[in-house]
Structure 1
Amino acid sequence: MKERYNMEDLLRIVALLRDPKDGCAWDKVQTHSSIRKNFIEETYEVADAIDLEDAHLLCEELGDVLLQVALHTQMETEQSRFTFEDVCTGICKKLIYRHPHIFGDVKADNPEQALQNWEALKRQEKHRESVAEDLASVPQAMPALMRATKLSKRAASHGMGRSTQETTASLKKNADEFCKAAEQGDVQNISDVLGRLLFDAADLGRQVKCDAEEALERENRAFLYSVSQP
């Protein structure tokens, strides 16, 4: 046991754990699919540490995420498809390419302009020129409210977004329909209208710069606090 370790040490340890003959009985039989959920869970634990402003916990949880990266990379290295160096090369090239205001001669005097540059270059890089291609690339595994916000934002960037007035009107309409469906016990209609209502809420939140996912999580915490009080 050493006092300090680095990324090379982690990669060597993971390779040993994955060794077909002498490796760990659990680690060596895992696949991308079998530990997919682990990656998601570890990412949420990082988010919790950030919310708690706990530096010690954040350090630990970032290590767990790094382990997931190392495991998935080792699986691909075993198949001779790519290595950790390839992963590092890819992200470094991406960062340089998408920051022309740092590594080139493009100007970006504020965070919003820098983000617009990033998104424009990302679309070009991935050949997502049409609105259909751009929307289809939003990951389906995203939490639904987060995905709704992303979809409406990308649609708006192509000039296909709704105005605040249009979204507000739709939100009010769907809220009324949802209440009526709930009163009538119309299960199928309740589900359909609730979906539209939540999408409207996420879209309107985006328009007024209020993230729906974060807003709902704050309400979750407030509810938890209220019911846990004596």
Structure 2
Amino acid sequence: MVTLRDPERGCAWDREQTFATIAPYTIEEAYEVADAIDHGDMAALKDELGDLLFQVVFHSQMASEAGSFVFDDVAKAIADKMVRRHPHVFGDAEIRDADTQTVAWEATKADERAAKGHDSVLDGVARSLPPMTRALKLQNRAARVGFDWAGPLDVIAKIVEEVDEIKHEINIEAEFDRIEDEMGDVLFACVNLARKLKIDPEGALKRANAKFDRRFRHVERELSAAGRRPEDATLDEMEALWIDAKGIERKGERKE
């Protein structure tokens, strides 16, 4: 990385990069690591972890050039943090189980935020996180200080309320900004329901995406076999094929 960034013999593209321009690549590489894990491809995982590590090295080198920190500082900082947050492993603290460890972990993080001068329980939840992930983290933080629904049924009632509100905005032909605002409230409430049910909303949506992809491809295949295209079929015809796809899936589940 030092050579790539060398002013005289380095790569022009690498020399031109900044923290801001590299950040999207860092995020992309993290997603590619997750994709390799999702596919169970260990060879790809090895490669993608290397790509992700390269991103850390890239940022560290730019920081080094600015006189801020070097790669070793990054490694030491995370090592120190892990020791600090695991007193039951590296110290004499007694922690009975994983749930107790989670409480202790969060307490340590809260102390660290306070030491940094943060005055809100929401401080430190990165604004650059995917919106659904950030919603979940914000809700979890608020719940730790008691700002939470009693149970999932209470959240469902809130979802119904939010749906009624967006229906009202649609009926009165409100401005786009109002409808978008209400749509956000519906999605935020849905994330809250997933949280109360101990379901990862990203994982649930991922499953729904895969299900839609699988079933719609069935619709396309069946229409193609009949010499037709989706745009040539009626909605009722496609809906019938969609229901057929669901039936096939249920039969497969029963066999398993």
Contact in 2 for aligned 1:171/1:200 (Cα 8 Å): yes
User: What is the correspondence of 1:95-174 to structure 2 with a 5 Å cutoff?
Assistant: 95-127=82-114, 133-164=120-151, 165-174=153-162
Q: CA RMSD in A?
A: 2.0
Amino acid at match of 1:224: D
Contact in 2 for aligned 1:73/1:84 (Cα 8 Å): yes
Find runs of 4+ consecutive structure 1 residues off by over 6 angstroms.
128-131
User: What is the CA distance between 1:178 and its match in structure 2?
Assistant: 2.7
Contact in 1 for aligned 2:113/2:123 (Cα 8 Å): no
CA separation of 1:184/1:53 partners in 2, compared to 1, >3 Å: closer, same or farther? farther
Say whether 1:43 aligns with 2:30.
yes
User: What is the CA distance between 1:183 and its match in structure 2?
Assistant: 5.2
Residue matched to 1:91: 78
Residue matched to 1:7: none
Residue matched to 1:176: 164
Higher radius of gyration, 1 or 2: 2
Counterpart selection for 2:12 from 25, 30, 42: 25
Q: Percent identity?
A: 38
Residue matched to 2:197: 208
Equivalent-residue separation in structure 2 for 1:128 and 1:137 (angstroms) = 12
Deviations along 1:56-82, one digit per CA (max 9) or x if unpaired, are: 111111111000000000011112211
CA separation of 1:170/1:136 partners in 2, compared to 1, >3 Å: closer, same or farther? same
Equivalent-residue separation in structure 2 for 1:149 and 1:124 (angstroms) = 21
Residue matched to 2:215: 226
Say whether 1:195 aligns with 2:184.
yes
Stretches of structure 1 that go unaligned for 5 or more consecutive residues are 1-13
Task: Tell which has more relative contact order, 1 or 2 (C-alpha 8 A, sep 6+).
Answer: 1
Contact in 2 for aligned 1:123/1:129 (Cα 8 Å): no
Equivalent-residue separation in structure 2 for 1:221 and 1:202 (angstroms) = 19
Amino acid at match of 1:210: I
Equivalent-residue separation in structure 1 for 2:7 and 2:177 (angstroms) = 51
User: What is the CA distance between 1:129 and its match in structure 2?
Assistant: 10
CA separation of 1:132/1:180 partners in 2, compared to 1, >3 Å: closer, same or farther? farther
Equivalent-residue separation in structure 2 for 1:107 and 1:152 (angstroms) = 29
Deviations along 1:98-146, one digit per CA (max 9) or x if unpaired, are: 0011112222232222222111101101217999612132111111111
Amino acid at match of 1:142: L
Residue matched to 2:63: 76
User: What is the CA distance between 1:190 and its match in structure 2?
Assistant: 2.3
Residue matched to 1:6: none
Matched residue of 1:68: which SS?
A: helix
Matched residue of 2:122: which SS?
A: helix
User: What is the CA distance between 1:150 and its match in structure 2?
Assistant: 0.6
Say whether 1:55 aligns with 2:33.
no
Stretches of structure 2 that go unaligned for 5 or more consecutive residues are 222-256
